[in-house]
Amino acid sequence: MSLLAANPEMSFIEMREGLAMTDGNLSMHLKTLQEVGYVALTKSFQKKKPLTTCSLTGLGKTSFAKYINVLEEIVLQNKPPGKN
Amino acid sequence: MSSESASEHLQVIRTLMERSAYYRRALAPMLCLSGAIGLAGALAACVLKIATHQYFVLFWNCLGILALIGSYFLARKQALKDSEPFWSAPARRVTQALFPPFLTGVFFSLVFGMDSVEPATNLWMLVSGWMICYGCGLHSAGFFTPKGVRWLGLMFVATGIGFYLLASRIPSLQTVEICHYMMGLFFGAGHLLCAGYIWASERRKNAL
């Protein structure tokens, strides 16, 4: 989700190398995210080789932003007073 | 969730987002190509005795376009080899970072290219301008590439300013031959040096 939040779209291989994950592990994660509607997968061909491209859906972007906000709130709430 | 855990999550997200913006194509071959073109160009310009504004601008712009096309061709070849899209988000960012300074360089080329005063005694200003513009472009693009590119950009800006200051005070540096030498030295040897640095640093990183 973090990778896709920083890029409009990424190939499966770019994501696999960026996350240092195995094909199977990444596929499982993407499948789960696709099922809940956070990620859209597009399959095409580049020079006769299959190319899977992933991108965040609108719902994915909103949910990710909400998640970041929640994390930030937790950090802020527990920060000692007087520190920025 | 504890504050430490939330903070750690945020740090991981930030690292991943930054890392994904990184341009991962091997830059050393592109810099080698640009360096070889720059050196060959300086030699050819001295042999061909290119001495007018129009020919100077045309000659070096053609070489610049050739180096640019060659670099994009090498990047595309690497992307195809790795089964990755060539026009990726980091590639777009690098191009966007390079575009405004390169456009400014083209503008300078047009201004000086239209100058018909002979003999050409003000081309040193154009060379300084090109070096500064190119340096700014590399420095901007360097935020999405290995550190060496940013240093190369700074070196171009510093030497562009240095050359302008020196040549404005020393008339013997204002000749067309010196301009060709400067182009060969910095756009040729400078690129080759940076390619060597990136190649060595990537090799060291891979060995760790």
Q: Residue A7 belongs to a domain with what CATH number?
A: 1.10.10.10
Residues of B with Cβ-Cβ distance to A9 under 8 angstroms = 89
Q: What is the mean pLDDT of residues A46-70?
A: 87
Number of domains in chain A: 1
Largest interatomic CA distance in chain A: 60
In a domain, B15, yes or no: no
In a domain, B5, yes or no: no
pLDDT tens, residue order, chain B (208 aa): 788 888 888 888 888 877 676 676 778 888 899 999 999 999 999 888 888 888 889 999 999 999 999 998 998 888 777 766 777 777 888 889 999 999 999 999 998 888 766 666 788 999 999 999 999 999 998 888 777 788 889 999 999 999 999 999 998 888 888 999 999 998 899 889 888 888 887 776 555 5
Give which of A43, A46, A54, A61 to mutate to test B binding, by max B Cβ within 10 Å.
A46
In a domain, B193, yes or no: yes
pLDDT of residue B27: 82
Residues of B with Cβ-Cβ distance to A5 under 8 angstroms = 13, 17
pLDDT of residue B197: 82
ipTM: 0.76
Residue percentage of chain B with pLDDT more than 90: 38
Question: Long-range contacts: B132-135, Cβ < 8 Å, 24+?
Answer: B132/B156, B132/B157, B132/B160, B132/B161, B133/B101, B133/B102, B133/B104, B133/B105, B133/B108, B134/B101, B134/B102, B134/B105, B134/B160, B134/B187, B135/B159, B135/B160
Shortest CA distance from B3: residue in chain A: A75
* C-alpha distance from A82 to closest chain B C-alpha (Å): 17
Residues of A with Cβ-Cβ distance to B83 under 8 angstroms = 11, 13, 46, 49, 51
- Using the beta-carbon criterion (under 8 Å), do A46 and B85 form an inter-chain contact? yes
- Using the beta-carbon criterion (under 8 Å), do B80 and A14 form an inter-chain contact? no
pLDDT of residue B206: 54
Number of domains in chain B: 1
pLDDT of residue B166: 93
Q: Residues of A near B (CB-CB distance < 8 A)?
A: 2-3, 5-11, 13-14, 17-19, 46-47, 49, 51, 53, 68, 71-72, 74-75, 77-79
Give which of A44, A68, A74 to mutate to test B binding, by max B Cβ within 10 Å.
A74
- Using the beta-carbon criterion (under 8 Å), do A14 and B84 form an inter-chain contact? yes
Residues of A with Cβ-Cβ distance to B85 under 8 angstroms = 11, 46, 51, 53
Element (H, E) at B115: none
Residue A81 has pLDDT above 70, yes or no: no
Number of cross-chain residue pairs from A and B with Cβ atoms under 8 Å apart: 71
Using one digit for the tens of pLDDT, what is the confidence trace for A4-36?
Answer: 888 778 888 878 877 878 989 999 999 999 999
In a domain, B24, yes or no: no
In a domain, B114, yes or no: yes
The amino acid that residue B203 corresponds to is: R
